[in-house]
Structure 1
């Protein structure tokens, strides 16, 4: 099973800190899972211009292809101006409409205010659903007050990140098993 974490911003450190915790939880609790992280701050991703994602080169192709090859995704996003960052939306725009079909997608959202908890519900979940993802319904929302010196200090947040990792693995295994059973019916 291949799980790719995507830290969806080029600036800041809170989302990356949260994503590092999620990847650590995956690696410690599920050593058989191939878990990796793509931090958009470390890549030069071109703006989407409508081409097939395989026609891009360099970092853009690497990011798009890594997401397409994953069985599951954990998407981390900060909230900027009551929305997801343009860098994250651009990555979604690079991919085909059905890019997340038969993939599980989980979410971690960081924000400076509790007022932004609905960004995941009203913006990120609809995009993931449109792209045909099987969405882990409970996401982790982390506020500014939960961080101290680039670390998460709230034990409840750390517990929820571990639970998100567990739910992501469980759903990915379950959907994979169900897909195999369905394919057996067709005799392929």
Structure 2
């Protein structure tokens, strides 16, 4: 049986990236609780091939692959740095090119990073409505981390790490419900009509 495939999307423009670090830390936490296939993409690797595309047909092969990975994932862990109180424009452009029905009922764990605590509600005010449009199944616990929560790019704040663990456990539980084999219904028997 194949393991659930989780795709991490980090909306960062440079490396090293706190956003990517947060997305990968949560992906690793999920992987500790159950076998998963986890890959991470960030905007650094596809920015040029994405930003100039006005439609899917204009995407670079790398950007098209990331869109395909998003649309075929069993779950997503998405993260964005906060710029001027919102997600980045290129992050939004990426999801503008995703087919609306592709994420219906797909579990999505929301994360963001920013310079300070004043941006903490970006996950609730911007990310949750974005994935609500797709009718995705957003995980109840979202994770926001600020600059002071990292040392040398590693998440060290105990409270944020605890929240990340809680969110990862929620995603793992949802995946567990989805990958358990469904009981097959009893075959329907038709009585002969006389």
Band of TM-score, shorter chain: 0.7 to 0.9
Q: TM-score, normalising length from structure 2?
A: 0.83
Is 1:26 aligned to 2:27, yes or no?
no
Deviations 1:59-79 (A, max 9, x none): 111100000110110101110
The runs of 5 or more residues in structure 1 that have no matched partner are: none
Rg (Cα) greater in structure: 2
Check whether the contact 2:141–2:166 (CA below 8 A) recurs between aligned residues: no
The structure 1 segments of at least 4 consecutive aligned residues displaced by more than 3 Å after TM superposition are: 175-178
- CA drift of 1:25 comes to 1.3
* 1:66 matched residue in structure 2: 69
Check whether the contact 1:26–1:35 (CA below 8 A) recurs between aligned residues: no
The runs of 5 or more residues in structure 2 that have no matched partner are: 189-194
Deviates more, 1:167-176 or 1:97-106: 167-176
Deviations 1:23-47 (A, max 9, x none): 22123332x2111111221234323
Task: Give the total of aligned pairs.
Answer: 181
Check whether the contact 1:105–1:135 (CA below 8 A) recurs between aligned residues: yes
* 2:149 matched residue in structure 1: 146
Aligned pair in 2 of structure 1 residues 24, 100: CA closer, same or farther (>3 Å)? Answer: same
**Distance of 1:96 and 1:168 partners within structure 2:** 23
- CA drift of 1:160 comes to 1.8
Is 1:133 aligned to 2:136, yes or no?
yes
- CA drift of 1:56 comes to 4.0
Q: TM-score, normalising length from structure 1?
A: 0.85
* 2:192 matched residue in structure 1: none
Is 1:15 aligned to 2:11, yes or no?
no
- CA drift of 1:175 comes to 4.8
* 1:156 matched residue in structure 2: 159
* 2:54 matched residue in structure 1: 49
Tell me the secondary structure at the aligned position of residue 82 of structure 1.
coil
Aligned pair in 2 of structure 1 residues 3, 87: CA closer, same or farther (>3 Å)? Answer: same
Q: Cα RMSD (Å) of the superposition? A: 2.4
**Distance of 1:155 and 1:74 partners within structure 2:** 20
**Distance of 1:79 and 1:160 partners within structure 2:** 19
- 1:82-93 equivalences under 5 Å are 82-93=85-96
